[in-house]
Structure 1
């Protein structure tokens, strides 16, 4: 029992320190926000008579408010675990900043009360322990006795509790205010969702067409050519009257048929590996690593098997990245990593067993492929554009970082569900 309490104490202190730091920074930012609100009032009132200048002034104020709101969002995400609040307009940011500065000043006032109370308590405790006089009592009457300490301790603890609850309340109100003003409305979310789905549909159609062209090229340049060669060999074998020559031609035809079957299996594997359904993503990626001509380090840290659509997208991301690295990068080593993360980018675990799970942290699978090649990969190329379309259709994000000289890093973040 005591061991559980000792293990729970450091996370509790960490959370308390984060909350205190977040409220402190919020009170400092409130001064800047109050200044912006004052500037808005000072310049917007004369601009009522000049609509043209008012528009330009509002644009500047909205831009400044957007920068302040971005800082606030990072503060809330870092110290109050709010996660990403979503895109918001400059007008929303301005409304949030104008309404938030009184709350920030309130947090600063509560912090000052807490600091003042702690200073007074420290002074009294030191006077009581050392047997000296308390600085706030006149000389001759400043001896702090045990009875005095007991009398003052009870209301002091009550005030300390109220100050701490005030800080917690300010932090909670801060989060709620940000969610209210910086989170997009249902209409905005629906409109953005429709736009994303329209774009994703176009990208999916483009990806399907590109896949069909690639399959046609693979069949034409590989399997079809071998089948033509197979037909020619069998035709020559039928026309020859020399048994030895016929046997040699049949042997060559048999080899061509085996190579054609191998090419056909490769095409089918690139279209969709059936082993993915049977073995799972880990084993299929291990097969890809074994078949690669470049040394590959595979790190697979997924505790559970992803859903089939996400598993398929993750496979194609790795497969296409390996193909590009093999053909164009001149790499000598490739690192593949699959990890599970939250939306905030770190693993969030409750400090206590009875604590509720963190909010706004749905799981994500992060697929990263890095090679030490010459770099310079074009994100607008046919293969990478197709990958971006696949990932976007799965509501994920896709990035390519390939400076000249390397290394090249291809990263896809996919939702777990």
Structure 2
């Protein structure tokens, strides 16, 4: 039944793909010899092919059990759409044959209700023929489903050499991004120490110096009280800097406790929905923690939300993290904070997506490969 539904959806998609290919061909034909015009037309064509390819990928995964790696080239998606529509129509023909075979195969059950049966032998022959057609078309469903999977793997999945070249390029980019992220983190720590802890310590030294020079015991006592308060605040800010660098709770109590600590430290209500049954590996847990921490911090600082929801779970071998807030929206995905998060996530072959329309809500979603 799942394969049949998948082929029905594939047949409907084939009609859309056929229309799309015809319109794309008609649009590209007048500008085939004009490079600038061809590029201008190809952009929306490739975007449409990418959308159709993603829809097909979801259909194959949900109904035919075919799982494919992400497509990194839009031209592959366009070639797949151009090659798949005949196979999709074939799937529709097979489903139609199943219906015809079902109608004739069960003719003996209801034919006497529709007309007077003068030749029972013809009813028997029609029923047998219908059952045979039903058997063949049912086998055809599995055959077309197998062809769907083979075509998708052949066209959408890159060859081994291409995959190696892409991985080398990604590793080179991620290595450079990691170096940049380390430098950016060092600069952030230096700013935090200079603007916070260092200023507190300077003020503490000045207060202690004034207390030593003061001849008035009451004045000296007041200065010492101020110095004690400055030392307490300096210690709190130093702990905050250390927490932002790396939380010890993550090592001592795990990811769930670290996320609950982030929720407790936030100035707005944060609800944590934790769906993991096992602790993820350390690198994945660390990146997931920083995604939540940075997203919650940005939301509180810029979006002024009334509530924040954090969801963590595992699906299809991916650990997903979603941070949702009901603030004013308009988050800049290319900003320093979110861009740094994207580099952290990409270093683990993950993906970070930010949806933040003006007026909200904002969704920061990360997917990380995990065992």
User: TM-score range with shorter-chain normalisation?
Assistant: 0.7 to 0.9
Question: Who is 1:311 aligned against?
Answer: 285
Matches within 5 A, 1:368-407: 368-407=322-361
Q: Report how far residue 171 of structure 1 moved.
A: 0.7
Pairing 1:191–2:161 present? no
Q: 1:320 to 1:103 in 2, by over 3 A?
A: closer
Give the conservation status (yes or no) of the 8 Å contact 1:341–1:364: yes
Give the conservation status (yes or no) of the 8 Å contact 2:97–2:133: no
Q: Report how far residue 246 of structure 1 moved.
A: 3.8
Deviation readout 1:281-334 (Å, 9 max, x if unpaired): 111221221222212222212222111111111111111122222222222222
Question: Who is 1:263 aligned against?
Answer: 237
Give the conservation status (yes or no) of the 8 Å contact 1:301–1:340: yes
- SS of structure 2 residue aligned to 1:413: strand
RMSD of aligned Cα (Å):
3.9
- SS of structure 2 residue aligned to 1:319: helix
Give the conservation status (yes or no) of the 8 Å contact 2:68–2:153: no
Give the conservation status (yes or no) of the 8 Å contact 2:101–2:131: no
Structure 2, gaps ≥5 residues long: 26-31
- SS of structure 1 residue aligned to 2:279: coil
- SS of structure 2 residue aligned to 1:19: helix
Pairing 1:301–2:275 present? yes
Q: 1:247 to 1:389 in 2, by over 3 A?
A: same
Structure with the greater relative contact order (CA < 8 A, sep ≥ 6): 1 or 2? 1
TM-score if structure 2 supplies the norm length? 0.82
Distance in 2 (CA, whole Å) between partners of 1:248 and 1:405 is: 49
Pairing 1:415–2:357 present? no
Q: 1:113 to 1:229 in 2, by over 3 A?
A: closer
Pairing 1:114–2:98 present? yes
Deviation readout 1:78-103 (Å, 9 max, x if unpaired): 43233445326566456545654554
Question: Who is 1:21 aligned against?
Answer: 5
The alignment covers a number of residue pairs equal to 366
Pairing 1:76–2:52 present? no
Pairing 1:341–2:325 present? no
Give the conservation status (yes or no) of the 8 Å contact 1:133–1:143: no
Distance in 1 (CA, whole Å) between partners of 2:150 and 2:250 is: 44
Matches within 5 A, 1:16-415: 16=1, 18-27=2-11, 52=33, 63=45, 66=49, 72-87=56-71, 89=73, 92=76, 96=80, 100=84, 103-104=87-88, 106-127=90-111, 133-134=116-117, 139=118, 141-142=119-120, 160-342=134-316, 363-415=317-369
Distance in 2 (CA, whole Å) between partners of 1:402 and 1:103 is: 39
- SS of structure 2 residue aligned to 1:304: coil
Give the conservation status (yes or no) of the 8 Å contact 2:102–2:130: no
Distance in 2 (CA, whole Å) between partners of 1:58 and 1:377 is: 31
Deviation readout 1:180-212 (Å, 9 max, x if unpaired): 122111122122222222222222222222211
- SS of structure 2 residue aligned to 1:257: helix
Q: Report how far residue 118 of structure 1 moved.
A: 1.4
Distance in 2 (CA, whole Å) between partners of 1:246 and 1:28 is: 85
TM-score if structure 1 supplies the norm length? 0.74
Q: Report how far residue 336 of structure 1 moved.
A: 1.7
Give the conservation status (yes or no) of the 8 Å contact 2:104–2:129: no
- SS of structure 2 residue aligned to 1:414: strand
- SS of structure 1 residue aligned to 2:106: helix
Give the conservation status (yes or no) of the 8 Å contact 1:107–1:170: yes
Give the conservation status (yes or no) of the 8 Å contact 2:348–2:368: yes
Q: Report how far residue 264 of structure 1 moved.
A: 1.0
Distance in 2 (CA, whole Å) between partners of 1:231 and 1:37 is: 75
- SS of structure 2 residue aligned to 1:237: helix
